[in-house]
Amino acid sequence: MKGKTWKGKSAFWAGLFAALALGGLGLYLLHPGGTRAALYIDGELYDTIDLAAVAAPYERTIQSEWGWNTIRVSHGAIQVVDADCPGHDCVQQGAISDGAIPIVCLPHRLVIEIEQDDE
């Protein structure tokens, strides 16, 4: 690096960051999908739902000591439709159907992930 112009250094960092970003994106998209939704509250498994076995959509409310979230379960997808948290990030996220992004409701310590059904 020594003696190089700032342009040379810029190119070096741009290349390194581009590679890292692409690598990160690739790794993220490689995350295995699945059909089983796992609900965690405060890090502990609360319930699992086999989304492939859901015929008709239904709603249910999950109550914990931190608050409640109403989830809608349908064939292959799950989402939070209402909650008594201030931010509503989990509601705005909409439905998830693959393992890429978990739904996280931080104030209620609720995490909904889609996992591989390998049992």
List contacts with other proteins (CB under 8 A): 6, 9-10, 13, 17-18, 20-28, 31, 40, 42-44, 86-87, 89-90, 92-94, 99-104, 106-107, 109, 111, 113, 115
CB 80 within 8 A of CB 61: no
Smallest separation (angstroms) from other proteins to the CB of 93:
6
Smallest separation (angstroms) from other proteins to the CB of 57:
20
For residues 70 and 48, what is the distance between their CA atoms, to the nearest angstrom? 15
Cβ proximity to other proteins, 54 vs 95, nearer residue: 95
CB 111 within 8 A of CB 90: no
